[in-house]
Homo-oligomer: A and B are copies of this chain.
Amino acid sequence: MNITLKQVRAFVAVARTQSFTEACAQVYLSQPALSIAIKNLEEEVGGALLSRTTRAIALTPEGEEFYPVAQRMLMEWDVALEDLQQRFALNRGRVMLAAMPSFASSMLPNIIRDYRQLYPNVSVTVNDVIAEDVVDMVRNGVVELGITFDPGRSEDLSFSPLFDDRFVAVVSPLDELAELKVIPWELLLKGDFIALQRPSSIRLLIENKLRQLGLQVAPEFETHQLATIGRMVATGLGVSAVPSLCLRQMRELGAECRELNTPVMSRQVGIVTRRRYPLSTAAQSLQDIVQRSAMDLTEHIQL
């Protein structure tokens, strides 16, 4: 059974126009070619679909039966293929991505804006979740792209770095530390330290790194929102250390940020994707934009 779409299109065109001659134009075929196409179709299905006299065309009962079916099938066919084309042309579709909050609230809005400007018909879903969940969502295929810290070598995940996110000191503008360009960790920790609560990756990172250096943190206050830290520091309750991605936010809350060193504590931020699972064209293009933007948006993390 070797029946062609072209043949069925030809049949439908003839059935609709009730004329071979007129149908020619609709299927971009010469009269004889059309005639043969119909003839072949009829041979393959085993009987006549059209009854032709030189004057008038009539559908046979079988043709009458087949006509609406063929019409519907061709329509579905065209719709499905056009949908595919639209997706590839980025005139339709959806990208799901997950980003850790510090990134989601700093660089991401600009990126999404640029992306939407380029592809206004592709909808973007952002999941603003903690770093570990970003990785899980990528691993489980819930999202195609994740933006978070390097999750380390992994069998099923791929990581492509964007930039280094380092910790910066957060101090009150009134604090004397604010007059330093660079604040050493030891000095910072002399103040009352305001930390995020335990399950936070930021908190854990700070503790682990400092322990390796023989330092230790004794938080005076704990909270679970960066915004709260900013406010508390601004109010003069104490000091803190946050990823440089958050320094805009800290400034907006009235806190000052300073470089923090010995050591410079940093982690790579990048894009996590699933290995062996190709990206959709939409996700691919979003990833491209994220990577290109990473350059331009480093201003976000410069003091």
- List residues 252-280 of chain A with CB under 8 A from any CB of chain B: 276-280
Contacts of A144 in B (CB 8 A): 61
Contacts of A46 in B (CB 8 A): 84-85, 88-89
Stretch at the interface among A70-78, A113-121, A152-160, A182-190: A70-78
Q: State whether A88 touches B69 (Cβ < 8 A).
A: no
Q: A5-B4, A60-B280 are in contact. Are A80 and B84 (CB under 8 A)?
A: no
| Binary contact readout A36-79 vs B (1 if CB under 8 angstroms, 0 otherwise) | 00000000011110010100101011100110011001001110
Q: State whether B73 touches A87 (Cβ < 8 A).
A: no
Distance in Å: Cβ of A121 to nearest Cβ of chain B: 15
Contacts of A280 in B (CB 8 A): 60-62
Contacts of A48 in B (CB 8 A): 278
Distance in Å: Cβ of A196 to nearest Cβ of chain B: 35
Distance between Cα atoms of A184 and B131 in the complex (Å): 111
Beta-carbon nearest neighbor of A60 in chain B: B278
Q: Is A281 an interface residue (CB 8 A)?
A: yes
Distance between Cα atoms of A281 and B63 in the complex (Å): 11
Contacts of A81 in B (CB 8 A): 1, 3, 45
Contacts of A5 in B (CB 8 A): 3-5
Distance between Cα atoms of A1 and B86 in the complex (Å): 13
Q: A80-B66, A80-B70, A81-B3 are in contact. Are A47 and B281 (CB under 8 A)?
A: yes
Q: State whether A80 touches B88 (Cβ < 8 A).
A: no
Q: A276-B58, A281-B47 are in contact. Are A4 and B3 (CB under 8 A)?
A: no
Distance in Å: Cβ of A185 to nearest Cβ of chain B: 45
Instruction: Give me 6 other A-B pairs in contact (C-beta within 8 A), A47-B84, A61-B283 excluded.
Output: A45-B85, A58-B276, A60-B279, A61-B280, A73-B76, A76-B76
Residues of A participating in the B interface, judged by any CB pair closer than 8 Å: 1, 3-5, 45-48, 51, 53, 56, 58, 60-62, 65-66, 69-70, 73, 76-78, 80-82, 84-85, 87-89, 144, 276-281, 283
Sample of 24 A–B contacts (CB below 8 Å): A1-B78, A1-B81, A1-B85, A3-B5, A3-B81, A4-B4, A45-B88, A46-B85, A46-B89, A47-B84, A47-B87, A51-B277, A56-B276, A58-B277, A60-B279, A60-B281, A61-B144, A61-B278, A61-B279, A62-B84, A62-B281, A66-B80, A69-B80, A73-B77
